Structure formats: structure tokens, C-alpha cells
Amino acid sequence: MGTVWFVGAGPGDPDLITVKGRRLLETAGAVLYAGSLVDRAATLYAPADCAIRDSKNMTLEEMTAWLIDAAARCETVVRLQTGDPTLYGALTEMTRPLDAADVEWRVVPGVSSAMASAAAAGETLTLPELTQTVILTRVAGRTPMPQGEELEALAAHRTTLCIFLSITLLHEVQRALRAAGWPEDAPMLVVHKASWPGEEKVVRGTLADIKRKCQAEKVASQAMIIASPALGARHWPEIARSKLYDPAFTHRFRRAVTPIEES
């Protein structure tokens, strides 16, 4: 039996797949990719004789059966997923049948759309003395949220929120943030298809107007919502300085320099 590799394809740009992920694709005998989310260009790294299948019309049972069958014929089988396989994917659901069939599997991480969205907008998700915590979450839809993980409860921390799979419920995001005490002028960011060549859109707004701006830009799918007190910090007159790079801060690679020593 071969090995099934769950490879994160990244947020959309084929160049953002990891070097290890690309090398696995280049030697794969079979690739099952999420066609509804992963740009087909990512499969161009696969050999010409590789068996390539789009999984967008398949059930979980059909996908796992395909992977098990492919592992019986090929040394390297790749399940190519959007972003990172461990985040909002069906990794556990897909690996349990592989375990039962004694098929070896491994995971190659990928770039999350949360990080790609921040990069697209030139923003940081953390800032010294302002926010040092990032919450990756979503709004309850057909899949309910566990008790205590409602967006309103998480938003009460007033830290950075990266909200997945929720652009069609943007009104609910607004309601939750307001209920948690966020002001109407709180900055918000929505990035549609972060890193996708020729398709990326960056929409900036506030809690009050972000939905209207997204409607104007026709952003209604495949979008990351970011609410953070750090948004727009590069335009502020002052920000707290990182201690790591402060001349007065000693660490094991550099001794602190006093003002007298500097002069």
C-alpha cells in the first residue's frame, strides 16, 4: 500500500503551495483535489500519467474509497485541499476509514486564507500592547457552533477575529460584534479569493458599512472576514514598539545598549 498525503494547497495562488507539497505532487501517482476550492493550476505540477480526480461531486465515502483504491496502486497519493488540511476540513472524517483499511497517511500543512488575507491587505494580526491573540472561527450556519463558541462570546475578548465561511452571514457577524460592544467605527476587512491571480478583492470598511461595501463589490463567496483593533495601524501617528528590537532590551543574542553607549 502506498501513502496518502493530505496536502494544503494554500489559499489559491499555485505558487503558495509549500515546496514539500509541490514535490509530492510531482511524484504522485494519483491526485484527488477539491475542485470547488483549489485552483486547477495546482494540479499542473502532477506528472502527465497521474490519475487526477476532482472531488467536488463526491461524497465522503466516495472520496475515501477512491483514496484507498489509489493507495493500492500508487506509492504516493495526494489529497489536495485548500488552505491547511487541519483547519475547516474533513481530515479526521477522511483518515478514520484510512486507519481502518491500514492505509498510511500523513499531512503537509498549507498557508491559511487568514494569513493570505492579512498579507493581501498589508495588515498585521497582532500588535504589541494592543492585541496578542488571534481567534480563528466562523458563524453558526447549517453546522452549529459548540456551546461557548458563539461569535458574540468570542468577540467579547476584543482581539483579532478571522472569521471563515461566513460572508453570506455578514449581517450576523455585525450583530454579534455589536452585541459584544464593538463600536460602529471599528475597522473591518473582507478579502475575496486572497492570492488568486486576477480575482482577489480587498474590501475595507467599518462595522457600520462593511456589508454595504461588500455588496457594492459583489463579494458573496470565498471571502475572509477580519475584525481587529490592529487594522490600519501602519497609518497611525504612533504605535507601541516591539521589545525584541528595542535597543534597551537584552536577549541572548544581543546586549541592551544604553543611551550613553549609543552616543
For cell 486564507, name the residue: 113
232 torsion bin: left (phi>0), alpha (psi -120 to 50), beta (else): left
pLDDT beyond 70 at 107: yes
CA distance 182 to 164: 19
Model confidence band, residue 257 (pLDDT cutoffs 50, 70, 90):
confident
Write out the three cell numbers for 70.
Answer: 489509489
The answer to whether the beta carbons of residues 123 and 226 sit under 8 Å apart is yes
Q: What percent of the chain has pLDDT over 70?
A: 96
The secondary structure of residue 142, as a DSSP letter, is S
- Helix (H) or strand (E) run with residue 154 in it: helix 151-155
pLDDT beyond 70 at 25: yes
Terminal C-alpha separation, the chain = 67
Fold for the domain defined by 3-108:
Cobalt-precorrin-4 Transmethylase; domain 1 (3.40.1010)
Which whole number is the average pLDDT over 219-247?
89
Q: Where are the domains of the chain?
A: 3-108, 113-232
Fold for the domain defined by 113-232:
3.30.950
pLDDT beyond 80 at 259: no
pLDDT digits (tens, 9 = 90+) for 204-229: 999 999 999 999 999 999 999 999 99
| Within this chain, domains 3-108 and 113-232 share the same CATH topology | no
pLDDT digits (tens, 9 = 90+) for 73-83: 999 999 999 99
The answer to whether the beta carbons of residues 9 and 41 sit under 8 Å apart is no
Among 97, 82, 93, which residue's Cα sits nearest to residue 194? 82
Model confidence band, residue 102 (pLDDT cutoffs 50, 70, 90):
very high
Q: What is the pLDDT of residue 75?
A: 97
CA distance 109 to 77: 16
- Helix (H) or strand (E) run with residue 128 in it: none
Max Cα–Cα distance, the chain, nearest Å? 71
